């Protein structure tokens, strides 16, 4: 049922399902509904952003048997907005409805050890690494992996579950701090920049790829993504897109996925992580592309033809964290100056409808458009100044 060759199509007016109620699910709902679909969201939070806009919110845990049965009975096809949904839940749904992506693909990227092995087997370069599952593994680590970064094999995101280490002693302490659960130690590499590629693969195996975004992080969380419409097809982009396509084919993937890559100082490329879903760095597509990553997700889930990924303009995406709602050094909550943001030409504000602002919580983003990347960055600097965000124009 869930092979890429399955051409079953869900027509507008019918139901699509979403596991997960966060902002990615919310933007999926908007895109699917604009195409004429009804959307049922399964999420345990009664204030979930996606549940608030869905046609049906099934409030239950992701492994709730009765809730999964209800979702499968209502929807012909189901997708997910985050990789840590139980693969067993996708397996359960797949007995009676289409799941896109399938449980196998999600299970591979839920575990960094398994993900690294998969990338190696697919011929996609990765950073030198070793699995760390016991204290004894640390004693046998090669010197070449230091300095490195120890990453929890499961449930890590936005810099969580990651510790920089300079020695075996550091690694032993970090391993204990991470609960002595399975980890991966990766060597730190001389980075030039990070890029990401968002791809959509249909049920018929057809594939479309967006221009790569150049990403800037702060404290392990994506802060800025930039796309230069005039430089959308350079050699590095072509290499990254080809590697992403190879990954999608090897996973027999159906849906939207993102692969993050490191571009090293010598110009070589290594894969960092796979996200089996739309990605923060692809939010620029909401305003700067012919069709957004969320429209692609809806089309791929439904088994409909994929859309055009062409760029309309250059763009800078600024991530908005909950810190913006707090006075510096204080606990007082206040609303950011949205009027000044919206006064900047080309600024497109997207807020996620979250009930409470918390430091480090993703609350929204601003896409800042320009005829050129220089113009987009100049305008993004104005938006950042209005919000008190650090930004180098």
Q: What is the pLDDT of residues 194-221, one digit of tens each?
A: 999 999 999 999 999 999 999 999 988 9
According to the model, what pLDDT value does residue 5 have? 40
Answer whether the bond into residue 345 is a cis peptide, omega within 30°.
Answer: no
Of residues 30 and 110, more confidently modeled: 30
Give yes or no for residue 387 having a pLDDT over 70. yes
The percent of residues in the chain predicted with pLDDT above 90, rounded, is: 89
Orientation angle between helical segments 235-250 and 112-121, nearest 10 degrees? 110
Q: How confident is the model at residue 8 (pLDDT cuts 50, 70, 90)?
A: confident
pLDDT in the model for residue 158 = 58
Query: Which residues have C-beta within 8 Å of that of residue 374, sequence separation ≥ 6?
Result: none
CB contact set of 231 (below 8 Å; sequence gap of 6+): 237, 373
Question: What was the pLDDT predicted at 159?
Answer: 58
The reply to whether CATH 3.40.190.10 applies to domain 128-187 is no
User: For 294-350, how does the pLDDT look when each residue is reduced to its tens digit (9 = 90+)?
Assistant: 999 999 999 999 999 999 999 999 999 999 999 877 778 899 999 999 999 999 999
What pLDDT does residue 6 have?
A: 47
Beta-carbon count within 10 A of 195 CB: 24
Which residues, 6+ apart, have CB-to-CB distance to 247 below 8 Å?
Answer: 119, 122, 124, 253, 257, 259, 271, 274
Domain ranges of the chain: 15-109, 128-187, 191-387
> DSSP character for 6?
-
Q: Where are the alpha helices (DSSP H) in 62-158?
A: 65-74, 87-93, 103-110, 112-121, 135-139
Confidence of residue 3 (pLDDT cuts 50, 70, 90): very low
Residues 32-53 have pLDDT tens digits of 999 999 999 999 999 999 999 9
Q: State the pLDDT at residue 114.
A: 95
Query: Which secondary structure element, helix H or strand E, spans residue 12, and what is its range?
Result: none
For position 83, what pLDDT does the model report?
84
- Has residue 179 got a pLDDT over 60? yes
What are 343-386's pLDDT values in tens digits? 999 999 999 999 899 999 999 999 999 999 999 999 999 999 99
Tell me which fold the domain 15-109 belongs to. Rossmann fold (3.40.50)
What is the rounded average pLDDT of the residues 120-147?
A: 95
Collapse the DSSP code of 87 into the 3-class scheme (helix H, G, I; strand E, B; otherwise coil) and give the result.
helix
Name the pLDDT band for 4 (thresholds 50, 70, 90): very low
What average pLDDT does the chain have? 94
pLDDT at 98 over 90: yes
Higher pLDDT, 157 or 152: 152
Give the pLDDT confidence score for residue 156 in this predicted structure.
64
pLDDT score, position 160: 72
Q: Is pLDDT above 60 for 7? A: no
Query: 191-387 maps to which CATH number?
Result: 3.30.470.20
Stretch 175-180: mean pLDDT: 94
305/73 Cα distance (integer angstroms):
25
pLDDT for the residue numbered 309: 97
């Amino acid at each position: 049922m869930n092979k890429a060759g399955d051409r079953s199509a869900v027509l507008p007016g019918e139901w699509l399902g979403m596991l997960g109620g966060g902002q990615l699910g919310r933007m999926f709902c908007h895109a699917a509904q604009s195409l004429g679909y009804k959307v049922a969201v399964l999420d345990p939070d009664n204030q979930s952003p996606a549940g608030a806009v869905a046609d049906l919110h099934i409030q239950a845990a992701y492994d709730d048997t009765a809730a999964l049965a209800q979702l499968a009975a209502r929807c012909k096809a189901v997708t997910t907005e985050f990789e840590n949904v139980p693969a067993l839940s996708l397996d359960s749904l797949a007995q009676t409805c289409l799941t896109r992506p399938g449980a196998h693909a999600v299970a591979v990227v839920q575990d960094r050890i398994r993900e690294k092995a998969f990338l190696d087997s697919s011929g996609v370069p990765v950073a030198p690494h070793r699995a760390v599952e016991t204290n004894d593994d640390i004693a046998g680590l090669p010197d070449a992996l230091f300095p490195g970064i120890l990453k929890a094999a499961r449930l890590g995101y936005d810099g969580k579950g990651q510790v920089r280490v300079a020695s075996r002693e550091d690694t032993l302490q970090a391993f204990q701090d991470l609960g002595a659960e399975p980890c991966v130690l990766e060597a730190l590499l001389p980075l030039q920049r990070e890029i990401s590629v968002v791809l959509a693969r249909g049920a018929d195996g057809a594939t479309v790829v967006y221009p790569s975004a150049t990403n800037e992080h702060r404290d392990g969380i994506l802060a800025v993504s930039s796309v230069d419409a005039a430089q959308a097809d350079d050699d590095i982009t072509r290499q990254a897109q080809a590697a992403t396509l190879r990954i999608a084919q090897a996973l027999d993937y159906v849906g939207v996925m993102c692969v993050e890559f490191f571009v090293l100082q010598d110009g070589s490329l290594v894969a960092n992580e796979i996200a089996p879903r739309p990605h923060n760095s692809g939010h620029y597509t909401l305003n700067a592309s012919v069709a957004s990553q969320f429209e692609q997700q809806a089309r791929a889930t439904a088994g409909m033809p994929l859309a055009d990924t062409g760029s309309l303009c250059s763009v800078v995406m600024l991530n908005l964290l909950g810190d913006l709602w707090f006075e510096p050094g204080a606990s007082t909550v206040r609303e950011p100056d949205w009027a000044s943001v919206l006064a900047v030409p080309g600024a497109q504000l997207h807020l996620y409808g979250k009930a409470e602002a918390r430091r480090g919580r993703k609350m929204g983003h601003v896409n800042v458009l320009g005829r050129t990347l220089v113009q987009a960055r100049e305008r993004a600097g104005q938006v950042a100044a209005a919000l008190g965000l650090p930004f180098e124009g």
